[in-house]
């Protein structure tokens, strides 16, 4: 695909970047023009087409729309204002016959494949940044692109309904999942109503970040930030950090905010995350009994 139509000056070079993980949601190009070096992203899912439990669950619970990039510039500016972790400026958003295209400034570094590849200082910095994002609170939950969300008090009943919806779609995993789902639904019924939500990344993964020789350099993918419970994002992060990395992250986080107590919500949130397949179809018992990090 020739990306010249996105630019007023000649494109000197464009290179499509290979996917960094299965199910990647966007095509990505490195583009050099006569006056800049940028990154172009094109969501592969657009026009409201939903496939798979992750997209179905995120739409059902948060109202996210695949390929919606209308609020991306505002999201990047908000994240930049809250934390010092660099995030690229959105230079252009263009809708074309082939879908929406986003042009952002190119940031230094290579794609991070594992949080364990970061040095201790960067893990603390990541903790500080996430706490800064979590310091933004709202009485609503939902997609940042939506005109309004739903009251925070409704989150746990809504999450229970989405768990039931995703459970109905389970195939051969149903028997292994059933006892965990029953325990998750029982736990959600006992939880007190939430009063506020925070900025969280629904597709949290190391590949959303860049690094140079173990030093964190930027967050580059913010398309699925939403308003939701910070404990849900931290429950997802437990699967991505080993013990020493989690200790460094906690040290950085607690320089800004106290770390939330995950013990009341860990089981139901883990069940929801597994049904969303945020890390694929991991064995249910392995997933639900994963070591706690926070």
How do residues 44-86 score in pLDDT, each as one tens digit?
Answer: 775 555 678 998 999 999 998 777 787 889 999 999 999 999 9
* Domains parsed from the chain with CATH numbers: 4-288 (3.90.1200.10)
Beta bridge partners of 227: 142, 199
The strand order across the sheet containing 110-111 reads 110-111, 209-212, 215-219
pLDDT at residue number 36? 92
pLDDT at residue 29 greater than cutoff 90: yes
> What mean pLDDT is predicted for residues 108-116?
95
Query: What are 136-170's pLDDT values in tens digits?
Result: 999 999 998 776 789 999 999 999 999 999 999 89
Computed from CA positions of residues 49, 103, 23, 112, in that sequence, does the dihedral angle turn out positive or negative? Answer: negative
The H-or-E segment that residue 92 falls in is strand 90-96
Q: Among all chains, which residue has been given the structure tokens 């350099």?
A: 217
% of the chain residues with pLDDT over 90: 83
Collapsing DSSP states into helix, strand and coil, what is residue 89? coil
Query: pTM here?
Result: 0.93
Helical H segments across the chain, by residue range: 52-62, 72-82, 120-134, 155-168, 174-190, 230-237, 243-253, 266-276, 284-288
């Amino acid at each position: 695909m020739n990306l010249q139509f996105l630019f007023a000056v000649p494109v000197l070079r464009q290179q499509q970047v290979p996917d960094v993980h299965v199910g990647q949601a966007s095509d990505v190009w490195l583009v050099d023009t006569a006056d800049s070096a940028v990154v172009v992203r094109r969501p592969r899912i657009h026009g409201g087409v939903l496939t798979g439990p992750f997209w179905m669950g995120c739409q059902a619970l948060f109202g996210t729309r695949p390929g919606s990039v209308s609020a991306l510039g505002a999201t990047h500016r908000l994240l930049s204002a809250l934390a010092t972790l660099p995030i690229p400026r959105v230079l252009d958003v263009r809708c074309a016959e082939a879908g929406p295209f986003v042009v952002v400034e190119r940031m230094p570094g290579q794609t991070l494949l594992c949080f364990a590849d970061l040095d201790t200082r960067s893990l603390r910095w990541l903790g500080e940044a996430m706490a800064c994002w979590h310091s933004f609170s709202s009485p609503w939950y939902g997609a940042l692109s939506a005109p309004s969300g739903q009251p925070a008090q409704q989150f746990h009943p809504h999450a229970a309904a989405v768990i039931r919806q995703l459970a109905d779609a389970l195939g051969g995993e149903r028997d292994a999942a059933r006892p965990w789902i029953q325990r998750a639904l029982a736990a959600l019924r006992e939880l007190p109503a939430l009063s506020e939500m925070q900025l969280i990344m629904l597709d949290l993964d190391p590949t959303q970040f860049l690094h140079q020789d173990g030093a964190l350099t930027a967050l580059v993918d913010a398309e699925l930030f939403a308003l939701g419970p910070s404990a849900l994002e931290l429950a997802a992060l437990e699967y991505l950090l080993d013990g020493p990395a989690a200790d460094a992250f906690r040290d950085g986080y607690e320089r800004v905010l106290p770390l939330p107590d995950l013990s009341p919500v860990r089981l139901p949130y883990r069940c929801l995350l597994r049904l969303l397949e945020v890390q694929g179809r991991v064995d249910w018992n392995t997933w639900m009994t994963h070591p706690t990090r926070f």
